Amino acid sequence: MGYYTRFTIKAERHLDDVIELAEEISGYTLNEYSHDIKWYSHVDDMRKVSLDFPDNLITLEGVGEEDGDMWKKYFYNGKCQVAEAIITYEPFDPLKLQ
């Protein structure tokens, strides 16, 4: 079994080259569109990719199987920043009742 995540790769520059290298390292077919896969080594793999494109901000977005499992991971020169989604709801406003 395993846990599926929908991954989307974005890059400031050289997106096709970034995707091609990520495919080589990960063994998955990737592109700028989303894919549901079990890519457990995505952080280590994308760190390697970002070292080959050191001045290019690469963003990996993930949406997991469970509700609320959404995040972005930013890769730059082999380093990673994780940004978990924060889901908020606006408060009740009786003026918005229709």
Q: What is the DSSP string of 59-95?
A: EEEEEESSTT-EEEEEEETTEEEEEE-----PPP-GG
- The domain in which residue 16 lies consists of 5-96
- pLDDT tens, residue by residue, 43-88: 999 999 999 999 999 999 999 999 999 999 999 999 999 999 999 9
In angstroms, rounded to a whole number, what is the distance separating the alpha carbons of residues 93 and 33? 38
Averaged over 12-28, what is the pLDDT? 94
Residue 1 is predicted with a pLDDT of: 74
The total number of structural domains in the chain stands at 1
In angstroms, rounded to a whole number, what is the distance separating the alpha carbons of residues 3 and 65? 7
Greatest distance between any 2 Cα atoms in the chain: 55
How many Cβ atoms sit within 10 Å of the Cβ of residue 93?
7
Averaged over 27-35, what is the pLDDT? 75
Q: Tell me the pTM.
A: 0.87
